[in-house]
Every structure is written in C-alpha cells, then in structure tokens.
Amino acid sequence: MPTVAVEFAITVIGIVGVSTLVWGTAGILRALAGAVRLTPFDYEPVVGPGGVAIVIAAHNEELVIEKTLTSAMAHLPRGQVYVASDGSSDRTTDLAITLGANVLDLNPNRGKAGAIVAAIEHFDLVERYEVVMLLDADTVLSEDYLRSGLPLFDDPDVVAVAGRASTIFTPPPATLAGRIIVTYRQRLYIAVQYLLKYGQASRAVNVVSIVPGFASMYRTRVLDAIDIDAPGLSIEDYNMTFEIHAKSLGRIAFNPRAAVAHTQDPDTLHEYAKQAGRWSLGYWQTLLRHGWRPRLFFQVAWLSAFELIVAALVLVLVLPIALASESSALAVEWGWSTNAFLEWFARALPAWVLLVGTLVPDFVLSFVTAVATRNARFLLYAPVFPLLRILDALLCIRALGRAVSGSSTGVWQSPARRGASVQSDSA
C-alpha cells in the first residue's frame, strides 16, 4: 500500500497538474532572470500607435460601450477606433456614432467572430494598419496598455501579443455571492497568467494556448491566414491561437506587466456558469477541430487537456467516492454490510488525504494571491472557492460531451452588465 506522503503527492499532482508545475517553474525562472519589467517601456517601439487599429465587436452593450470607447480613444484617435455593432437593438450603435467611432451596423447579427471579420474587411484594416487590437465592449485598457504592449512587437517573429486580464470590481456586485464569484475569477486570472502563460510564452517553447479576445493585438499580415470565423465554434480566441501554432505563423508574446486590460466578469452564479461553460465548450471544440499534431504546442495542449479531465474527475467523482468509502470503512468497524469496492478504495486512498490534498493547494493559491494583490478578500472568501472549482469541473465535463456530440453557432451570449466604472486589483 502507498504511504500517506505518496498518496498526498498523487492527489496534489492530480489536482494541480504537471503542466502547472512545469510552466509555473518556467515563469518563476523568467521573472528571476529579469524578464518581467517593473516599469513602463520608455522608448519608441518599432510599431507606433499610428499603426494600430482597435476593433470592437458589440451586441447590446449600451451600459458599458461608452466607457470602453472613452478608454480606447484615450490611447488612439477616434478615427482609428472601429465598432461592429452586431444586430444591436439598444443604444449601442448610437452611442458609438456619437463618440466618433467608425461604426459598421450589421443586421442580421453574425456573432462576435463574424462581426470582427466584417469590420476588418469593410474598413480594409489589413492594408491600412500594421496591428489590429481586438477589444471586447466591456473592456477598459490600462493607461500604459500600448506603451507597454507595442514594444513586444519589436521582435519580428512576434505575431500576437496576449493581453493580461484583470477583473473590474467597481461598481461592486450587489450580493455577497456576486463578490465571491468576481473575486474567484480574479484569482483564476492571476493563477493562469502568472503560473502558466508567462512560462508558456518563453521564446524557446512558444506554447501559449490562448490569446484572449477581450484585449489582444495581432499583426495584420497574419490575419488573412487565420480562420477567425471558423464554423461550429462557440468562441473565436482559442481557435485563432491554435491557427497561429498550426500554421507556424510566428510567436505569441506575453508579459504580465504589459498590455493589461480590465474586464467586467459575471456576478451571478447563473451568468458565471453560462460564460464558464461557453469558454470550456470553445476550448474543447478547438482542441478537437485541430486534433493532435507532432509539434510541441499540440503535445503540450493535449497533455494539459488530459490533466484537466483528471482534475475535473477527481473533483466531481473521486471526492464523493472517497467520502462514501470512509463511511464504508466505518460501517465495517460497526459490523454493517458494505460495498467491496468502497472498502478497497478506503484502504487505497483515504478520504482525508484527498480532502487535504485538494484543499491545501487551493488555500495556498488564495494566500499567494492575497499577498500579491495586498487584498484580504481572497482569504476571506477562500473557504467557498473549492465549491466553485467543483462547478468549473462539472462545466468542463459537460462541455466536453457537448463538443464531442455537436457544434455551436457562435451567437452572442453576453453576460448581464453592472455599469461602466472601473477599478481592479493590481498584481
């Protein structure tokens, strides 16, 4: 029988994953080597602001579009800001026109990816600009987004710069549940971007799995080679990233101190589940669409997918089985009849080992996030986060089943909005 230490290690590795340990270590080494710049870039980049266009695909976003456009126009002249209002029935189109953006009013709607393609083609952006920034209608750019992000294009091999997401906390969610959900999402952003993406963006490996569509930049010369509006996908950003790798178009750059933008995340369980489920569905659809290929990126992608399934199954199935097996062990002591499998499971992997191996790494992540952001709410809400991780696991498994059994239309599923103020944690 395995020792307690081995059981604990197996559980932690099953939950955390080898990929997280590997890329987290790579990210730490990059940081120690001085690759993370702590001050804004202070020189003229090869691609200046005049060579950049901002494209915003929007559908019924009147509550947030004004703030987003104001943020965009603080970085670029309004003539370089383009809005594809995709079948909007509210004041989205009127607000964008009033603020001076170039507006393409699409009816009927085409979905986000279709709206992006329509704007790029209608305004001839590939021929007129060197870089296109894709911006969600609820995104607010940091003050130094372009000043810190554009120098990453100084490397001619870089064809995309992945923006770093940070959640908007103002206006605050109206309920305690909403505040917990938004804080949990911010913890996810910090963990994924610092522990995974920064290591994956190392020049030697170049295996970043997503250039997020909320606020990222692409060289226009590669856009014609990317199938932006691929049929049957629920979201476009995973597929655009996989296309870069599949077609060897170039390198994806990411620096957690550069190209930071703030986005408004769902603050109700229903809206959160819809969005997280859609993201998971888009991930699995893209992975299945591209399949396995004998390249490092796809080997890493499929290993990560396997680990994701293992972690989800541990959270959704193994923990309940462990608890049942513990009850079975007690039943044996009391002389009651029980299930042979549960008796074996209780001896092989005790419930307390699984619980500790699951909860301790989760709490450590909350603690590190609280220290990094100097915000105690990550610790205050930490006891609830494992429940949201179980929800994520359920959504992940469900999305895999949907991806295998069917496709999506890519129709808009924007979450409910809270308003247009912005404030986020710095990390």
pLDDT in tens, 374-386: 999 999 999 999 9
Query: What confidence score (pLDDT) does residue 344 get?
Result: 56
In a domain, 45, yes or no: no
When the pLDDT of each residue in the chain is averaged and rounded to a whole number, the result is 85
For residue 125, is it within any domain?
no
Calculate the CA dihedral of residues 311, 384, 427, 199 and round it to 10 degrees: 0
In a domain, 308, yes or no: yes
Please check whether residue 58 lies inside any domain of the structure: no
Across 347-351, 393-397, 404-408, least confident range: 347-351
Q: Helices 385-405 and 351-373 meet at what angle, rounded to 10?
A: 100
Please write the tens of the pLDDT for every residue from 298-334: 999 999 999 899 888 878 876 676 666 555 554 444 4
In a domain, 310, yes or no: yes
Average pLDDT, integer, range 283-303? 94
Task: State which of 35-44, 79-88, 359-368 shows the largest mean pLDDT.
Answer: 79-88
Amino acid 163: pLDDT: 95
How confident is the model over 130-148, as a mean pLDDT? 95
Question: What pairs with residue 165 in β-bridges?
Answer: 261
Q: Who has greater pLDDT, 357 or 229?
A: 229
What pLDDT shows up at residue 271? 94
Higher pLDDT: 165 or 19? It is: 165
CB neighbour list of residue 228: distance below 8 Å, 6 or more residues apart: 113, 116, 117, 120, 236, 239, 240
Residue 351: the pLDDT is 64
Residue 280 in domain? yes
215 compared with 10, residue with greater pLDDT:
215
Comparing CA positions, the residue from 119, 126, 121 lying closest to residue 102 is 119
pLDDT tens digit sequence for 17-28:
666 767 677 777
Taking the C-alpha atoms of residue 50 and residue 53, their distance in angstroms, rounded to an integer, is: 8
Decide if pLDDT at 150 tops 70.
yes
Higher pLDDT, 316 or 357: 316
pLDDT at 267 over 80: yes
The band of 337, judged by pLDDT with boundaries at 50, 70 and 90, is very low
Domain that holds residue 290: 1-35+155-419
State whether residue 102 is helix, strand or coil: strand
Contact 109, 412 (CB under 8 A): yes
Give residue 124's pLDDT band: very low, low, confident or very high (50, 70, 90): very high
Percent pLDDT > 70 in the chain is: 78
Task: Judge whether 185 lies within some domain.
Answer: yes
Domain count, the chain: 1
74 located within any domain: no
